[in-house]
Amino acid sequence: MTAAENVCYTLINVTSDSEPPSEVSLKTDLEKGEIKAKTEALKKVIIMILNGEKLPGLLMTIIRFVLPLQDHTIKKLLLVFWEIVPKTTPDGKLLQEMILVCDAYRKDLQHPNEFIRGSTLRFLCKLKESELLEPLMPAIRACLEHRHSYVRRNAVLAIYTIYRNFEHLIPDAPELIHDFLVNEKDASCKRNAFMMLIHADQDRALDYLSTCIDQVHTFGDILQLVIVELIYKVCHANPSERARFIRCIYNLLQSSSPAVKYEAAGTLVTLSSAPTAIKAAAQCYIDLIIKESDNNVKLIVLDRLIELKEHPTHERVLQDLVMDILRVLSTPDLEVRKKTLQLALDLVSSRNVEELVIVLKKEVIKTNNVTEHEDTDKYRQLLVRTLHSCSVRFPDMAANVIPVLMEFLSDTNEAAAADVLEFVREAIQRFDNLRPLVIEKMLEVFHSIKTVKIYRGALWILGEYCSTKDDIQSVMTEIRRSLGEIPIVENEIKKETGEVKQDDEVSAAPAQKLVTEMGTYVTQSALSSSRPSKKEEDRPPLRGFLMDGDFYVAASLATTLTKVALRYVAIVQDKKKQNSFVAESMLIMVTVLHLGKSSLPKKPITDDDVDRISLCLKVLSECSPLMNDIFNKECRKSLSHMLTVRLEEEKLSQKKESEKRNVTVQADDPISFMQLTAKNETSSKEDQFQLSLLAAMGNTQRKEAADPLASKLNKVTQLTGFSDPVYAEAYVHVNQYDIVLDVLVVNQTNDTLQNCTLELATLGDLKLVEKPSPLTLAPHDFANIKANVKVASTENGIIFGNIVYDVSGAASDRNCVVLSDIHIDIMDYIQPASCTDAEFRQMWAEFEWENKVTVNTNITDLNDYLQHILRSTNMKCLTPEKALSGFCGFMAANLYARSIFGEDALANVSIEKPIHLGPDAPVNGHIRIRAKSQGMALSLGDKINLSQKKTNI
């Protein structure tokens, strides 16, 4: 193990701008200075030794003038000094001076002050020289009986470390610690002693646990955690022991400590797959989520519940706990709510869907008119989508859901209202029995709709599905009410000139009640508003949209009027009534056209909208059967087709998910009997405690692919040439938020290289965590140096640097070998993700950084090129497969991905095949990338540019 790989116990900040002091001045301060001067001098000595200086002349000075001092600060610093100072001669023998140090620490182990005793015992855990430890063993044993728990628990740690490293010094350690554990009362001492027995002598640990298994629930949480770990390890290695300890784990689910409950639930799931065990563990997880205030904890535990759901047999158990899971919605955090709703939706069944819908309806009503939290609107949107999904899967629920959701069409939050509208459109198309209810509710809320997009959608639904005479007349009444008095132009001019009394308008407005922060009511008179704003407020909704210049809604209105007029003509036989209704419809269209051409609106009507209204007027004047079919039948057919395609896609994705989760067992697969399995085979199953420890240390071992190219060797970067005096190569291991560089350094000379240091610098959003320690390399020797680099955002980064060293015996300056640059690939942080079309468009409009990449490739097929880009960039294609199938010489697709830092990346691929250049002509076109940050957009563009120039697939 190299020096850089040793566990670093003591981190000391080094000020880079200060001048290094001379050895003479340090010696003077250590010999003759006051306590404060000696303390500062000792600190400087420690920093210099950490930086690679040897300072052998100061060792005896420190032993003579500093070691005898009783000052606590100096004693603490001395512990650090003795930890890092070289204690052996070059040939490996212990320095003579260390005997004096050893004697001093023997005295400290008998010191009356418990802090000095305890900190000395902690220091002994770090010593690697058995000759130094041997004389101290009687004193260490005596510390086990000290009156203070701080000394006793550190004595246990010291004995454990010494037993692990030098068993011959204390061969009876397990027996000694077992006896100590039986009589000990302090929780931290018991925890350390039990931990030692787990690792040193598991049988003794089990014997102790067996004697006190009924009292486990009374122990402190730190000891309970260690007991959970022991039970897990024992049952993992020897499954026959499960029955003996499973009751203990059940008891620990009731622990007062959240950490113990979490670990016990995780252990219980691995030990037993019985429904009662899974239910108990899931219930424990749900309680933790509700009671813990930290959102990160909530998300972690939710992930555990989601993992449980992935198992087919566990899913049935969790279905009974859906209502308990919904209690988590009381958390204000949006991400927690999102995961909870998704989990509940995955688990919902015909047995509990009614209760789920009731809870969700209550949650939706709670969010109404609540604006104290910025995520309320997004949460409402989530609830609407969840209810939508429930109604699609369980059509019987739609009748209960629709009346509640229709209230939100008048909501100012357009996103939530748009989701409600989409749901209503699908419900009214699929469920014929709900049409009268939907039409009735739609007519009720129609006048209060505030946003033009929702108004357009509502108009379309009313025009498409009103089929009775009364409904059609109600729609016309609502349109007239929403449009105000016609002709519009004349009415607006009269208002401007004052012919219409303003007082009437003012009195029409109701007084408004406001609530102050104190909770008291304040009444505000409508008369206080200024006259121009009053005029705008009093305008009916549709007229307001038209006066703002939004004439797209006028085109939608014309289509709706045409549909209902044609249907009215087919239903009502009275010619006079037919002509009256059609004439009224045409009058509305004409007055809207007139308004559009006048100077009253803020923006004039567009030519497209004029054409649409004119076409509708022509259709109504002619009333041909062909047009009747197109307006009243073909429109509905296209909607039905779109919904069918979407449903098929959803079913296909659900089928793929279920196929993933269903474990297929072949007929000739061997059956594994736990009782007949050899011990070494059971250990092949991954140890969860070991995995979590590795994950915390950033050493997660990914399963390498069978392909040799995907192995570690593929990630090795050569840093220097083979003819350089020092050869170096690095294995770049990318964890989630940091990069570990494992650099192999080889001395290719016949000289000893001293203070061989790897100096690194970074470009981009990377940050070097710590400076690698200097090494001494013998002739033709090699060593590994590890360096950690933190990553802050998703963009390409470069790590560069050099290796500097001194040649032993040479008088020249330091030598330097410059290293090749290491390029960090953005693809390690990008993961495919999905979003709705509406979210994609919204992000596309919001993101300010765009990078346009010209397609320059030798791939000749459009679909092949798209697949190649998806593989190269880790992005997901949002455009449905059916839309991309077939060949027309042109392709447009939307791609989306999200980084592990939560950054979104959007791309639009517009490519074509130039047919006139022949079948072998390469694809051309553009890829537009949009992202919130400049680095993301540029890095993704560079990646596409590099990858598309590869050879044919």
pLDDT value at 106 more than 60: yes
pLDDT at 689: 58
pLDDT value at 11 more than 50: yes
Q: Averaged over 186-200, what is the pLDDT?
A: 85
Q: How far apart are CA 726 and CA 145, in angstroms?
A: 54
State whether 378 and 489 are in the same domain. Answer: no
Percent of the chain residues topping a pLDDT of 90: 3
Domain assignment present for residue 859? The answer is: yes
Q: How far apart are CA 290 and CA 310, in angstroms?
A: 22
Q: Averaged over 379-399, what is the pLDDT?
A: 80
Domain assignment present for residue 286? The answer is: no
Domain assignment present for residue 143? The answer is: no
Q: What CATH number does residue 903 fall under?
A: 3.30.310.10
Last residue of a domain, one of 636, 653, 676: 636
Last residue of a domain, one of 407, 423, 446: 446
| Cα distance from N-terminal residue to C-terminal residue, the chain | 44
CB within 8 Å of 894: residues ≥ 6 apart? 837, 840, 877, 878, 879, 906, 907, 908, 909
How many angstroms separate the Cα of 145 from the Cα of each of 118, 124, 153, 176? 13, 18, 10, 12
753-762 pLDDT per residue, tens: 888 888 888 8
State whether 429 and 481 are in the same domain. Answer: no
245-287 pLDDT per residue, tens: 788 888 888 888 888 888 888 888 888 778 888 888 888 888 8
Q: How confident is the model at residue 500 (pLDDT cuts 50, 70, 90)?
A: low
pLDDT value at 217 more than 70: yes
Q: What CATH number does residue 820 fall under?
A: 2.60.40.1480
Q: How confident is the model at residue 727 (pLDDT cuts 50, 70, 90)?
A: very high
Nearest Cα to Cα of residue 160 among 131, 186, 121, 134: 121
State whether 561 and 466 are in the same domain. Answer: yes
Q: How confident is the model at residue 499 (pLDDT cuts 50, 70, 90)?
A: low
Q: How far apart are CA 317 and CA 322, in angstroms?
A: 10
Q: How confident is the model at residue 744 (pLDDT cuts 50, 70, 90)?
A: very high
Of 35-39, 445-449, 472-476, 827-831, which has the strongest mean pLDDT? 35-39
More reliable by pLDDT, 738 or 532: 738
State whether 816 and 833 are in the same domain. Answer: no
pLDDT at 585: 83
pLDDT at 928: 92
Q: How far apart are CA 139 and CA 132, in angstroms?
A: 13
State whether 916 and 929 are in the same domain. Answer: yes
Tell me which of 385-389, 602-606, 640-644, 829-833 is least confident: 640-644
Domain assignment present for residue 484? The answer is: yes
CB within 8 Å of 592: residues ≥ 6 apart? 488, 546, 551, 554, 557, 558, 613
Which amino acid is located at 126 in the chain? K
Last residue of a domain, one of 604, 636, 668: 636
State whether 581 and 441 are in the same domain. Answer: no
Bridge partner list, 768: 789
State whether 846 and 916 are in the same domain. Answer: yes
Spacing of C-alpha 772 from chain mean position: 31
Q: Averaged over 476-490, what is the pLDDT?
A: 77
Q: Averaged over 826-849, what is the pLDDT?
A: 83
Beta strands in 691-747 (DSSP E): 716-718, 726-734, 738-747
Let me know: does 745 contact 783? Beta carbons within 8 Å: yes
Q: Averaged over 308-337, what is the pLDDT?
A: 82
Q: Averaged over 367-386, what is the pLDDT?
A: 73
Domain assignment present for residue 91? The answer is: no
- What would the 3-class secondary structure string for 114-151 be? HHHHHHHHHHHCCCCCHHHHHHHHHHHHHHCCCCCHHH
pLDDT at 181: 83
Q: How far apart are CA 60 and CA 37, in angstroms?
A: 18
Tell me which of 268-272, 289-293, 428-432, 654-658 is least confident: 654-658
Domain assignment present for residue 132? The answer is: no
Please give the structure tokens belonging to residue 58.
């100061």
State whether 439 and 370 are in the same domain. Answer: yes
Which amino acid is located at 766 in the chain? L
Q: How confident is the model at residue 711 (pLDDT cuts 50, 70, 90)?
A: low
Range of the domain at 754: 712-824
- 854's enclosing H/E stretch is strand 849-854
pLDDT at 726: 92
Domain assignment present for residue 129? The answer is: no
pLDDT at 666: 64
pTM above 0.85, yes or no: no
State whether 396 and 354 are in the same domain. Answer: yes
How many distinct structural domains can be found in the chain? 4
State whether 834 and 784 are in the same domain. Answer: no
pLDDT value at 810 more than 70: no
How many angstroms separate the Cα of 626 from the Cα of each of 212, 619, 636, 641? 88, 10, 15, 21
Domain assignment present for residue 674? The answer is: no
State whether 362 and 482 are in the same domain. Answer: no
DSSP secondary structure code for residue 349 in this structure: -
State whether 476 and 612 are in the same domain. Answer: yes
Nearest Cα to Cα of residue 201 among 226, 182, 180, 174: 174
The residue count of the chain comes to 953
